[in-house]
Amino acid sequence: MKILKLLLATYIYMTSNVAFAADAWPNRPIKFIVGFGPGGANDLVARAVAEGVSKQLGQPIIVENKPGAGSVVGGDYVAKSAPDGYTFYAGAAGGIVTIPMLRSNMPYKNDDLVPVGMMAVSPSIIVVNAESPVQNFKELIGKAQTKPGLTFSTAGSGSTPHFVAEMLKLYAGGGNYEIIPYKSGSEGVFAVVSKQVDATSEASVVVLPQIEGGKLRPIASTWNKRITRLPNVPTTKELGYPNIFIGHWSGIFAPKGTPVDIIQKMNLAIQAALDTNAIKARLIPQGIEPAPGSQVDFIKFLAEERKRLQPIVKNANMKDE
């Protein structure tokens, strides 16, 4: 009986301390870890949201860049951090969804990083050279049906542009596609600008300057709704190809074991920050769409992403390079 009382007392003490810690949170600066270097889309989103969340929570949010292995280094750092609500991962599709599908030696598991909330998305835009005879998505698909077919640049195996290219092959009537990998998305885009290849797909934040500069023609967006800066560009869903769906999204994740109350408070702070005119004014002009939602929304989105993309990985025999 004495042992039971002691265990009960210990349990009450521990749970009350957890509750107290969650109630008191945050009482010191918080870190957002970005798995890419400074200046990229994911870094830009993380810094904008960090500023907004800081105002919501009344504590500084420090953005720290830990690039490497396609953002896996940053994800691993957070997965192994203390689950106390002071270290979060500003993650993207690569380190969370696609790279784990391609690698067998991931240093962390999916459930080591708990989804907190979506931040924003830079929709993928399928583009051709502005002087290309291809005027629309139908003509793009038609070009793939005739010899010599369609050349399509990507940012390498397993990149978002690679997924778009494989989706076109799988869901848009087949055809002759020559998928040409480059070292980066910017190199793949330059290949279209310089007329080395016919088309590519890249994040709106990457291709928007070239579109507005008259060097690229946008054909379609592979997100589920039109981008604010390109309201006349239809989505692949509108065009009758709902399975051609992917985007360059960013979200916040916490180490496994982070108290639920803290995760809920952070989610609400993210949603409130994204709803401000200040953040909208920073993101939307650059082709980035704020995407606030609940933790449940984000968990559902990630599950659907994994379910949709895994067959494409298998069909295309995608491997990590």
Task: Say whether pLDDT at 77 is over 80.
Answer: yes
Instruction: Look at 2 and 217; give whichever has higher pLDDT.
Output: 217
Q: Burial code of 306-321, b = ≥16 C-beta within 10 A, e = fewer?
A: eeebeebbeebebebe
Calculate mean pLDDT across residues 186-195: 96
Coil/strand/helix, residue 208: helix
Q: What are phi and psi of 117, to 5 degrees?
A: 180, 150
Calculate mean pLDDT across residues 138-154: 95
Query: How far apart are the C-alpha atoms of 43 and 21, rounded to whole Å?
Result: 29
Rounded to the nearest 10 degrees, the angle between the axes of helix 160-171 and helix 295-316 is: 70
Domain coordinates in residue numbering, the chain: 28-122+248-316, 124-221
pTM: 0.89
What pLDDT score was predicted for residue 6?
A: 41
What pLDDT score was predicted for residue 321?
A: 62
Segment (H or E) for 171? helix 160-171
What pLDDT score was predicted for residue 20?
A: 44
Select 28-122+248-316's CATH number: 1.10.1040.10, 3.40.190.150, 3.30.420.40, 3.30.390.50: 3.40.190.150
* Span 198-229, pLDDT tens digits: 999 999 999 999 999 999 999 999 999 999 99
Task: Say whether pLDDT at 90 is over 80.
Answer: yes
Coil/strand/helix, residue 158: coil
Determine which of 16-25, 126-135, 190-199 has the lowest per-residue pLDDT on average.
16-25
| Topology match between the domains 28-122+248-316 and 124-221 | yes
Is 124-221 a domain of CATH 3.40.80.10?
no
Name the band, by pLDDT with cuts 50, 70 and 90, for residue 148: very high
Calculate mean pLDDT across residues 20-25: 66
